[in-house]
Structure 1
Amino acid sequence: MDRLLVFVFLPFVAVTAFRDDFNTWNAGNYQIEVSAWGGGNNEFQVYVPDHNNLYVKNGNLYIRPTKTIDSPHFNDVYHGDMNLYSLYGVCNQHDNNGCHKTANGNGEILPPIMSAKIITNFAMTYGRINVRAKIPKGDWLWPAIWLLPRDFSYGGWPRSGEIDMMESIGNTKAMFGNQNRGINDVQSTLHWGPAYNQNAFYKTHNSKIKYGGDDWHGWHTYSLDWTADHIITYVDNQEILRVDTPHNGFWNFGGFSGQNIWSHGGKNAPFDKPFHLILNVAVGGNFFGDDGHYDTQKPWSRYSPNPKRSFWEARGSWENTWHGEEAAMIVDYIEMIPY
């Protein structure tokens, strides 16, 4: 008897390798950063695991900056000792005295803000990432949804790359030239290069601006589409940044001289290795350029001898722009779908 062979072709269905809807806090999914090192940009916050700064409520994750003096551990930023090992039993970043800071009333103060930063334990190479979130609004707030490499296979930053899905300035007004780059603007950037002072990010940067007085302080979905051939970021499926893999590689695209540090990698190196997803809210630092004109006068400069102190002593100009949980980044869900 002849057999009729029937082949049924099923549609490809992407499998989500990691998803968190934040119905509860799943501590095993994340590393919580504990450090006051300043994030490499001389920021003013200390990242801590305190419930006031990192918590789940009504199916959402909150990453919320608060004043250090509101913590039961500190009532004064001008004097005292901030020993993160003693407080939390862990510290993740030692650079710039990130685990232990002191203040004696003269010069710089302790970090005046506490905030939170989480890193997914899950890492992937190529796929789709979606994060539905509401970014904070308030002066000198700097929310970010971004990725760093798991292994730093090509060396320290920026040799192994960085993918910034979304960054924003929380100020209502941040004028650079004739363009407002405040919370009406969300930015995406790739960082890559052989050294910190040879970072070709300016070749791979773009933003999505809202005009007419509207801003991004609301619920939106921030996405990354990452393959060997391209990296594309979106907000609500509107393209922010598209970087097609250069036909001759990122080394030649960057115009770098010397030995190609990515020659042993894929065609899109350094963006060919597993990356973790990171969410945080920073405060202050070098992200807020001295050449900008803001809704309130910027109380520090990049060259201030004591920028945290200048920021803190001008709190009367910015603290009333932080309206409770409106100053938090609120996250509905994260999903990471490998290709």
Structure 2
Amino acid sequence: MTMKTNWLRSNALRLSGLTTTIIFGGLLACGGGGGGSIQSSPEPIVTPTDTTPPVITVIGSLNLTIEQGSSYTDSGAKATDAVDGSVTAITSGTIADAVGVYTITYTATDESGNSATATRTVTVVAASPATPAGPQAIDSEKWFHQTRLPDGNGWYNGEIQHYTNRIENSYVSDGTLKIVAIRESFTDQDRTKQFTSARLNSKYAFTYGRVDVRAKLPQGFGTWPAIWTLGKNIDENGGYWQTQGFGTVGWPASGEIDIMEHWGNNQNYISSALHTPSSSGGTVNVDGQYIATASTEFHVYSLDWNADRMIFSVDGVEHYTYAPNDKNSATWPFDADQYLLLNFAIEPNIASSFTKDEMEVDYVRVYAPNASSSASPVWADEFNN
């Protein structure tokens, strides 16, 4: 131990003038008064450049087909970006109502300026034809089914039908009213008859004005359709206004205006008439005209009624004017409310071949007195329900 110690001391003395220290880790320190030191610089942090565009997801189908007239609302799209997260997708393009192919475009751009697009195709096709509606009941706010046998046994003039409120005998379809007479055995009010039909009373009554009814008539021996009016004050069992408490006088004191009557045994002859206390039953106040297509085409049957006269016409062609010089209760019970009736009666001499036919009515319109051709009706039924 002594020899080793003496050797270390001896060598230390020889080197006492200079001492060198090596510091591992890249630092070199020089003795003799504390010189400077050298350090290595850290590597700079480099952020990668964003060159990836957002991803767009279209919500819903990429290809849609809609019909003309349909309402279209686009469901849009959403976009996400790997760096920026959620990105707004902007929608452009329009869908017109014309038949064709349209494109909706969605565009999304991230904060680095990378853009992406996606599209949806919308094809507009012609609307499918509407499915015809089935028979619908008449508007009960406007019309009343008169079904009660007025004398408990039958109707007037030897008519042999039952009037019913069944949809088989009166209904609305495809924009028109059908009043249908049918050969069938039918029991009502303890009476069995071999024909059914319908008789409608309007729940609207008026004094003076113009009435236009566009209709196509049945045909065949024994058929008897009519468009007409009765005084609101008529006392007739089962009539609408009688059930409302207005029945105060009998027929013909109430007055009757026959706008159109057509008998199948005189095909295509349109008759218009007035029934009053001075001329009832086989009235002399009557005239008409032939319409060659009365049962194959629609025609407008009109009454123009004011305080001085009544004018009857078909499609604007006049055939009868009633204007008595002496207007009194016997000749002119027409200064008070009348209501409309539409019916299809069957006469006793109905053809053996008859099974079913109808009076088809396109519209009923009532205008104010002296209304212009462009005026709107004061009451109407267009049969579009």
TM-score of Structure 1 vs Structure 2, range by shorter chain: 0.5 to 0.7
Q: Aligned partners of 1:226, 1:206: CA distance in 2, in Å?
A: 16
Amino acid at match of 2:144: Q
2:218 to 121, 136, 139: 136
User: Aligned residues, how many?
Assistant: 219
Alignment partner, residue 193 of structure 1: 277
Query: Does the CA contact (< 8 Å) of 1:143 and 1:329 recur in 2?
Result: yes
- Structure 1: runs of 5+ lacking an equivalent: 1-21, 75-81, 85-98, 102-109, 175-181, 251-261, 286-297, 299-310
For the residue of structure 1 that corresponds to 2:141, the secondary structure is helix
Deviations 1:240-286 (A, max 9, x none): 22111x22225xxxxxxxxxxx28xxxx730111000000000004x
Alignment partner, residue 159 of structure 1: 253
Q: Is the counterpart of residue 64 in structure 1 residue 180 in structure 2?
A: yes
Query: Does the CA contact (< 8 Å) of 2:276 and 2:332 recur in 1?
Result: no
State how 1:8-23 maps to structure 2 within 5 Å. Answer: none
Q: Give 1:202 shift.
A: 3.0
Q: Aligned partners of 2:193, 2:137: CA distance in 1, in Å?
A: 30
State how 1:146-225 maps to structure 2 within 5 Å. Answer: 146-152=228-234, 155-170=249-264, 174=265, 182-193=266-277, 199=280, 202-210=283-291, 214-217=292-295, 218-225=297-304
Q: Give 1:158 shift.
A: 0.6
- Structure 2: runs of 5+ lacking an equivalent: 1-134, 235-246, 370-385
Q: Aligned partners of 1:279, 1:200: CA distance in 2, in Å?
A: 19
Deviations 1:182-240 (A, max 9, x none): 1220100100116xxx6276331001024xxx341120000110001001111101112
For the residue of structure 2 that corresponds to 1:233, the secondary structure is strand
Amino acid at match of 1:59: G
Calculate the aligned-residue CA RMSD, in Å.
2.4
Alignment partner, residue 272 of structure 1: 335
Report the TM-score, using the length of structure 2 for normalisation.
Answer: 0.53
1:282 to 336, 345, 349: 345
Q: Aligned partners of 2:366, 2:163: CA distance in 1, in Å?
A: 24
Q: Aligned partners of 2:166, 2:262: CA distance in 1, in Å?
A: 24
Which structure would you say has the larger RCO, counting Cα contacts within 8 Å and 6 or more residues apart? 1
Q: Aligned partners of 2:311, 2:155: CA distance in 1, in Å?
A: 25
Q: Aligned partners of 2:232, 2:202: CA distance in 1, in Å?
A: 10
Q: Is the counterpart of residue 231 in structure 1 residue 310 in structure 2?
A: yes
Normalized per residue, the structure richer in strand is 2
Q: Aligned partners of 2:136, 2:164: CA distance in 1, in Å?
A: 22
Report the TM-score, using the length of structure 1 for normalisation.
Answer: 0.60
Q: Give 1:64 shift.
A: 0.3
Normalized per residue, the structure richer in helix is 1
Q: Give 1:155 shift.
A: 2.3
Identical aligned pairs, as a percentage?
32
For the residue of structure 2 that corresponds to 1:158, the secondary structure is coil
